[in-house]
Structure 1
Amino acid sequence: MRSNLILTGGINHDFVDTAHAIADVLADAQFRSTVIDDLSEGFELLASTKFDLITLFALRWRMLDDDKYIPDRARWAYEISERDRHTLAKHVANGGGLLGLHTAAICFDTWPEWPELLGAAWVWRQTFHPPPAELLVRVVGDHALTRGLKDFLVVDELYHNLWSSPTSIPLLFADSAEDGSKQQIAFASATSTGRVVYNALGHDRDSVTTEGHARFLQRAANWCTLT
């Protein structure tokens, strides 16, 4: 089995429970996952242990973008260290896979290179999401990751107006109930060594275990770890 380190934790989501659901989904694709909800501890483990895949399913940043986060800052505000940036970037540079889910696009706001590495980013006062609702998620293009996958229904938050890297390849989109626009919600990118997928879905256990979404997650993990 391939090894997967799931880094998780943060506010407004049942991160640990959903992370274990992700681990179960990926176990069916022959991944053995370790779930850690302390990012510093997780990066320390990554620095000393080789993993085939890193899954970032977390909401950890400085929390300075809105006063509504003030009550949570003492416990949850986070700034990634230079050492941990290097550890994660080195993992990808050495051929490791990276799977970013949902709020991963908000993380690490003091790391300028993070959006490009992940392939997408939440942009404050531009990106937003309505409450969770049923979405018809459509496959776009003819990427090896999604080839043969069917469109699927899932109840989740639809992120609107994400920034995406010019080098990222769109994989999935859903139509906005707000204005009818097509919102791209998953992207793949590959360097000369490592592979990265960002998927904006994944609000909770019900989302990641929905059949079509689970199948996409399995395909994404497999693609990220192809060598």
Structure 2
Amino acid sequence: MTHALVLAGHGRYEDPWHDGAAIAHRVAQLLADEGIDTTIRGTLPDALDHIEPDLVVVASGRGRPDPDFDGTDEDWLPFHARLTALVASGVPVLGLHQATNTFLDSPSWGPLLGGRWIEGTTWHPPLSAATFRVVSPDHPAVSGLSEISVEDEQYLALEVSPDVQVLVVADHEGTAHPVVWVAPGPGRIVYDALGHDVRSYDSPSRVDLFRREVRWLLSR
């Protein structure tokens, strides 16, 4: 059976604006609908130990590093090395929403994901009903979709690598801001900026997008 690992924000990778536990639970439900068994783990230094996932979903954010609680940057080196090794071995990755603002202590994560939240530059309007536009309709992850209508945040002015393939944008004041893209790899990597909270997954078109991303990542 296909097995996914969902990394929910915890400690240095848990921010106060996202309910990581609720999001991880909802994602696990959607994966179960696809016949995928899921393990949810908080982002602790041993979160990648003793597991061989077929898919890694990163639903972590930016918290407060506390060496007395969950270790120093040096303590986290094996975690980041293990994640890099999983990707290098071909395990696909889906980064959700605040994933561009996590693992700031890992110089490899931003290039791997294909983008970053930049403090003081990246921002979002208040959460509201929003429409996101598909710009690469020939890609299997969005084929047949033209837009996603959802109650969510619109991430704007993310730092995005020129090497990614942008699939979906948020249009704001005449500018198209990439919010869903395929990173160059190695392997299959998708970043999806939607999903501030579980309300996002009440949208049929958003759920359709998520399922398509997962199916493409797993070559289904």
- TM interval, shorter chain, is 0.7 to 0.9
Q: Which residue of 2 aligns with 1:58?
A: 60
Q: What is the deviation of 1:90? A: 0.8
Partners of 2:145 and 2:184 lie apart in 1 by 20
Partners of 1:83 and 1:7 lie apart in 2 by 16
Moved over 4 A (4+): 72-80
| Residue 8 (1) aligns with residue 8 (2) | yes
Q: Does the residue aligned with 2:219 lie in a helix, a strand or coil?
A: coil
Q: Which residue of 2 aligns with 1:162?
A: 158
Indicate the RMSD between aligned Cα atoms, in angstroms: 2.3
Q: Does the residue aligned with 1:41 lie in a helix, a strand or coil?
A: coil
Pick the aligned partner of 1:118 from 100, 113, 124.
113
Q: What is the deviation of 1:105? A: 0.3
| Residue 205 (1) aligns with residue 176 (2) | no
**What TM-score, normalized to structure 1?**
0.85
Q: What is the deviation of 1:77? A: 9.6
**Percent identity among equivalent residues?**
32
| Residue 20 (1) aligns with residue 25 (2) | yes
Q: Which string of whole-angstrom CA distances, capped at 9 and with x for unpartnered residues, describes residues 201-221 of structure 1?
A: 111111023211111111111
Q: Does the residue aligned with 1:215 lie in a helix, a strand or coil?
A: helix
Distance 1:62 1:112, change over 3 A: farther
Q: Which residue of 1 aligns with 2:47?
A: 42
Partners of 1:75 and 1:205 lie apart in 2 by 28
Aligned length: 213
Q: Which residue of 1 aligns with 2:178?
A: 184
Is the contact made by 2:43 and 2:60 (CA closer than 8 Å) also made in structure 1?
Answer: no
Q: Which residue of 2 aligns with 1:195?
A: 188
Is the contact made by 2:5 and 2:41 (CA closer than 8 Å) also made in structure 1?
Answer: yes
Partners of 1:211 and 1:226 lie apart in 2 by 22
Distance 1:85 1:76, change over 3 A: closer
